[in-house]
């Protein structure tokens, strides 16, 4: 007959107990977490930068030629409506199981948010401002670079912030092809019910999204000082 003292005590190691919050997970898996965060940041940054480079000329074309606005907005809206798994499946024959597949998918998703906001910013530029610039001898390119794009910057930055936060979230879907950054850890942790890994990777995704949004908000405030003056 056994007494209470013979009952096995719960392990002291939070990893052995499979706790949700476990500091030892952070110390023993530091390199794995850093690699996952690095891949997550790289995929997000590359995707958003490529999407931004494509969105500006598309928005400018839609603003300059009215007939182009419908097809540009329609196409980007259709792309955004495609479910993420279906999008990756459609791109699979072109890119294979690679990081480029994830980047291509994120670029297509980001186009809608960026094109719409940049176009809205360009359309909000007062026509009298354009006429005044033309009266000063501004040609089409100089007018775009020196007047229209700077005035469209607040709306463009708002779209960039939304697109970046969305990309941070969607990168995790790349775990299905082994290129999901922190999504790889979330996916493997869910398969093995590794609580600390799932919670830690998920929390880091949230931290990255918030940090990216705050960073871009700071850039927006520095790049558009006149908006603070108007608000004041």
| Residue 29's pLDDT band (cuts 50, 70, 90) | confident
Contact call for residues 227 and 154 (beta carbons, < 8 A): yes
Architecture of domain 18-231: Orthogonal Bundle (1.10)
Contact call for residues 74 and 134 (beta carbons, < 8 A): no
Contact call for residues 88 and 173 (beta carbons, < 8 A): yes
**Overall average pLDDT of the 117-135 stretch:** 88
Residue ranges per structural domain of the chain = 18-231
Q: Each residue of 166-217: pLDDT tens digit?
A: 999 999 988 888 888 899 999 998 888 888 899 999 999 999 999 999 999 9
> Cα(first)–Cα(last) distance of the chain, in Å?
79
In angstroms, the Cα distances linking 199 to 26, 36, 129, 142, 194 are: 11, 14, 51, 50, 9
pLDDT at residue 52 is higher than 90 = yes
Residue with tokens 């940049």: 118
C-alpha of 4 from chain center:
55
CA nearest to 117, candidates 161, 84, 82: 161
Q: What does the pLDDT read at residue 215?
A: 95
Q: CA torsion 20→41→216→71, rounded to 10°?
A: -110
pLDDT at residue 11 is higher than 80 = no
Say which residue, 68 or 41, is predicted with more confidence.
41
| Residue 5's pLDDT band (cuts 50, 70, 90) | very low
Q: Each residue of 128-139: pLDDT tens digit?
A: 888 888 888 888
| Residue 43's pLDDT band (cuts 50, 70, 90) | very high
Distance CA 50, CA 73 (A): 18
For the chain, give the mean pLDDT.
86
In angstroms, the Cα distances linking 190 to 36, 186, 193, 194, 197 are: 16, 6, 5, 6, 9
**Overall average pLDDT of the 89-97 stretch:** 87
CA nearest to 42, candidates 189, 157, 160, 167: 167
**Overall average pLDDT of the 65-91 stretch:** 86
Q: What would the two tokens of residue 81 be?
A: 């409506």
Distance CA 59, CA 55 (A): 6
pLDDT at residue 229 is higher than 70 = no
Q: What would the two tokens of residue 136 be?
A: 């000063």
pLDDT at residue 4 is higher than 50 = no
CA nearest to 171, candidates 31, 38, 32: 38
């Amino acid at each position: 007959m056994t007494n209470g003292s013979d009952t096995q005590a719960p392990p002291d190691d939070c990893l052995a107990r499979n706790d949700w919050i476990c500091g030892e997970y952070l110390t023993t898996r530091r390199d794995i977490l850093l690699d996952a965060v690095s891949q997550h940041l790289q995929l997000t940054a590359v995707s958003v930068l490529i999407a931004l480079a494509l969105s500006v000329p598309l928005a400018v074309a839609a603003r300059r030629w009215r007939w182009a606005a419908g097809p540009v907005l329609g196409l980007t809206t259709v792309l955004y409506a495609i479910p993420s798994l279906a999008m990756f499946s459609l791109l699979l024959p072109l890119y294979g199981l690679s990081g480029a597949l994830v980047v291509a998918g994120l670029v297509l998703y980001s186009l809608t948010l960026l094109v719409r906001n940049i176009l809205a910013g360009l359309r909000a530029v007062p026509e009298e401002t354009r006429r005044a610039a033309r009266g000063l001898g501004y040609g089409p390119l100089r007018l775009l670079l020196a007047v229209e794009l700077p005035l469209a910057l607040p709306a463009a930055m708002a779209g960039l912030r939304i697109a970046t936060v969305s990309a941070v979230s969607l990168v995790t879907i790349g775990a299905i092809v082994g290129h999901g950054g922190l999504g790889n850890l979330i996916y493997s942790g869910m398969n093995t019910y590794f609580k600390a890994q799932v919670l830690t990777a998920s929390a880091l995704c949230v931290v990255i999204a918030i940090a990216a949004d705050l960073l871009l908000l700071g850039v927006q405030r520095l790049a558009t000082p006149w908006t603070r003056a108007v608000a004041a």
